[in-house]
Structure 1
Amino acid sequence: MGDVLQAVFVVALLLLMLAAGLWVSLGLLACGVLSVIFFTDVPADIVLPTKAWDSAANWGLVALPMFIWMGEILFRTRLSQDMFAGLGPWMRMLPGRLVHVNVVGCGIFAAVSGSSAATAATIGKISLPELKKRGYDEGLAVGSLAGAGTLGLLIPPSIVMIVYGVAAQASVVKLFIAGIVPGIMLMVMFSGYIAYWSWRNPGKVPPADPPMPLREMVYRLRLLLPVLALIALVIGTIYTGVATATEAAVIGVAGALGIAGLSGSLTRASFTDSLMGAVRTTCMIAFIMVGAGCLTAAMSFSGLPSNLATWISSLGLSQYGLILVLSIFFIILGAFLEGISIVVLTTSVLMPAVLAAGIDPIWFGIYLILIVEMAQITPPVGFNLFVIQNITKHSLWFLIKKSFPFFLILVAATAVVTVFPDIVLWLPNAMK
């Protein structure tokens, strides 16, 4: 009864604080402090500062600010404009034509940013005005951007993967490798829907641009070489064992600075802006992790996580049954919390039950990231929706409606990797 009371108390208090507009991190911290005071006998002033430090002082998190800074640097270069110019001529041959640039562009930028919001913002600022100018359906354009922007979480290097790896004590490198095939699969599914929609609505697709000589199309691909080289440098050093994830992040920052310098985008102002942007984002994530660490510690001292794990295990659910229950739970939670909060708050609580069910922690990490991607376009707290609303000035309801098909695609992708787990595990197992 005590566990139920504490769970209801924490959920109700957290939702109340979020509804009042309080920062997520402060809400988690307040719930942790009050849970310790009301539901345990441990001294909050001694235990919680120690747990907060433990949650943030982890060597694995050193890569986090580096990858964020790399994305911030590239955000201020001509990378996105060059990407559209290089990809556009090749996409016009597909049903839906230039709308596919959203998907492919987000997939490429995700491989160097690690952030869903940065991916959606960067590609959206370039592609949406261009697509609107050419007469493409605005609903399909913003919906595909909202969905494809979530690739920033799945395609490595991913900030959320690093956070999950630290929280679950799983290999970040294996998580990076495991995200490649599902990421490509999701891109194909997004593009497949765009092609299907365009086939069903031919009148809403503008005429193709005049044909371009193959030589010119190939020549324009040179615009993609800097970002592709950076992807190969960062991911290649990790997969070949030359560098750890943290060392590769530093290499990525050096490469991003080099690209910015060669493109003429590296100025004193852009350098300072990128550095301060990385500091702000890193501090936000660290503060969330501290708050979630305090709440997790409070629940641990009360015995709630172990009791929850025992209760879930006692249900005798199959792996599929457990995944179904957790999916419903995460989708509901994703309506109120952003991705990193979900990962940090739930991983340590649920991992005992997940491991007891025989579920691979690397597979579970990719599954959880797919669920977190749904949270990015789930109202009322959908970060990608807010980012795109800021760019387009459309109503939130319009964005929710247009991104819903891509939410369903994410649900379908989660079902596919659940039924066929080797989609996730084949590559990391093959590279042992």
Structure 2
Amino acid sequence: MGMLELSGLLFLLLVLFLAGGLWIGMSLAAVGFVAITFVHPQPGTFLASALWESTGSWTLAALPMFVWMGEILFRTRLSQELFNGLSPWVRRIPGQLLHVNILACGIFGSVSGSSAATCATVSKIALPELQRRGYDQDVAIGSLATAGTLGILIPPSIIMVVYAVSAEVSIIRVFLAGCIPGLLVMGLFSLYIATWALLNPRKQPMPEPRLSMAEKLRRSSQLVPCALLIMAVVGSMIFGWATATEAAGFGVLGSLALAAITRCLTWESFRDSLTGATRLSCMIMFILAGAAYLTKAMALTGIPGALAAGVAALDLGPFGLIAMLTVIYIMLGTALDGVSMIVLTTSIVVPMVQQAGFDLVWFGIFIVLLVEIAQVTPPVGFNLFVMQAQTGREQTAVAWAALPFFLMLVAAVAIITVWPQIATWLPDALLNR
């Protein structure tokens, strides 16, 4: 059987397993088992060693810690404090409090690391407040659905850890590479809100009353504990004081302390945070284990190299390859979650990207942006589900409300592709000293 026929058979099996409702991790392992039987005399032994190697990683230990950190903060009053602390500073900008959606999602996303958690938490506070003050609901819903995706772009991010482990690149570098693109996406979202507000003055509520500088500072003081936690976690990695795993552990201790100080830490919230983190971490680890086995099986069959050579033979050029991958990832996003998208494709895509001369750290940010787009792409856009549950609207209506911001994400992908230094400059500047 030739490489093309074998790869087609394996792809068909994967589709059948997933369509039949088999867990993603088990589907990946099952396809890997079929693939390895063609080239390895003991597929069962190979499976056991691959699963152990993929999960017994010190680097991967950062994942459950960052997940737990986000779960703890998810159960504090952080989202309400974010809205109250940020709103005084945007009252004179066109669009006014709509910009708080973007800023709050960016800040909360940096500590939660989860797109759905960011979207759900901020929207619980922002939507009723904006509706009460007379803001346009379509723009409010669209901005929250898409700004919630900042949870996976601004570090520390669960998706970034998954990509770094899968592609075997530095977690710290990927974290740093997401900082400036994260600010770029926030800027594009706010630019659209301001432009829309200037073009639709009749849809704007009455201007908010002016506040004294002392009152602004008093309200913003609520952001200080969260800001200190973010700086401590990310700063300890940048300056080399802690590895990503150690920084994640300190982040958990800091979030527990913050929850205790704000009197949100109870035995019930502690148990719920630990249970939620365990479930999500186990799901991701199980997927990674299945993907690791499939990756090794595919490497032994030679399929990734053959596919990479086939794409190279098409002579698409670097930008042609990126355009093709963009379409493929957006299509995958209509049916898969972000973690699955990354672990399913890394073993095949990374050799192609390396052969085309792209930096793997930059490519990590490129994939994360595409995963962001997938979060608001029907029919399996998780943020669309979140906003549908929050508002009671049909998913189609939520998707239309998010469309302008969806286009801003597409613009961000184009910008970092043309100017990759936006992603690579910061890690190079701070770590190549």
TM-score, normalising length from structure 2? 0.95
Match for residue 335 of structure 2?
336
Match for residue 352 of structure 1?
351
* Pairwise CA distance, 1:36: 4.1
CA distance in 2, matches of 1:94, 1:281: 39
1:209-240, Cα deviation, whole Å (9 max, x unpaired): 22222221121110111111111111111111
Bigger drift between 375-384 and 16-25 goes to: 16-25
* Pairwise CA distance, 1:16: 4.2
Match for residue 167 of structure 2?
168
- Alpha carbons 1:378, 1:400 under 8 Å: kept: yes
Match for residue 78 of structure 1?
77
> What is the aligned-residue identity percentage?
51
CA distance in 1, matches of 2:14, 2:203: 44
SS at match of 1:92: coil
CA distance in 2, matches of 1:10, 1:381: 24
Match for residue 261 of structure 1?
260
1:251-273, Cα deviation, whole Å (9 max, x unpaired): 11111011100000011111111
CA distance in 2, matches of 1:416, 1:36: 41
AA in 2 matched with 1:366: I
Match for residue 9 of structure 2?
9
Distance 1:423 1:312, change over 3 A: same
Match for residue 288 of structure 2?
289
Match for residue 127 of structure 1?
126
AA in 2 matched with 1:179: G
Match for residue 422 of structure 1?
421
Bigger drift between 323-332 and 50-59 goes to: 50-59
Match for residue 141 of structure 2?
142
* Pairwise CA distance, 1:319: 1.6
- Alpha carbons 1:107, 1:152 under 8 Å: kept: yes
Bigger drift between 261-270 and 156-165 goes to: 156-165
SS at match of 1:241: coil
Count of matched residue pairs: 431
SS at match of 2:97: helix
* Pairwise CA distance, 1:344: 1.4
AA in 1 matched with 2:172: V
Match for residue 325 of structure 2?
326
Match for residue 59 of structure 1?
58
Pair 1:154 & 2:150 matched: no
CA distance in 1, matches of 2:261, 2:282: 30
CA distance in 1, matches of 2:112, 2:180: 18
- Alpha carbons 1:106, 1:120 under 8 Å: kept: yes
* Pairwise CA distance, 1:124: 1.4
AA in 1 matched with 2:372: E
CA distance in 1, matches of 2:96, 2:21: 41
Match for residue 302 of structure 1?
301
SS at match of 1:224: helix
Query: Which runs of 5 or more residues in structure 1 are unaligned?
Result: none
- Alpha carbons 1:76, 1:265 under 8 Å: kept: yes
* Pairwise CA distance, 1:315: 2.7
CA distance in 1, matches of 2:212, 2:80: 21
Distance 1:2 1:200, change over 3 A: farther
- Alpha carbons 1:167, 1:344 under 8 Å: kept: yes
* Pairwise CA distance, 1:342: 1.4
Match for residue 231 of structure 1?
230
CA distance in 2, matches of 1:201, 1:7: 53
AA in 1 matched with 2:24: V
CA distance in 2, matches of 1:24, 1:398: 30
- Alpha carbons 1:48, 1:297 under 8 Å: kept: no
SS at match of 1:206: coil
CA distance in 2, matches of 1:254, 1:340: 26
Distance 1:399 1:17, change over 3 A: farther
Match for residue 371 of structure 1?
370
AA in 1 matched with 2:315: G
Match for residue 190 of structure 2?
191
CA distance in 2, matches of 1:185, 1:302: 41
AA in 1 matched with 2:3: D
- Alpha carbons 1:15, 1:336 under 8 Å: kept: no
Pair 1:88 & 2:87 matched: yes
Match for residue 108 of structure 1?
107
CA distance in 1, matches of 2:23, 2:134: 39
CA distance in 1, matches of 2:132, 2:26: 43
CA distance in 1, matches of 2:139, 2:362: 31
CA distance in 1, matches of 2:335, 2:28: 12
* Pairwise CA distance, 1:25: 2.8
CA RMSD of the aligned region, Å? 1.8
- Alpha carbons 1:293, 1:345 under 8 Å: kept: no
* Pairwise CA distance, 1:276: 0.6
CA distance in 2, matches of 1:193, 1:23: 39
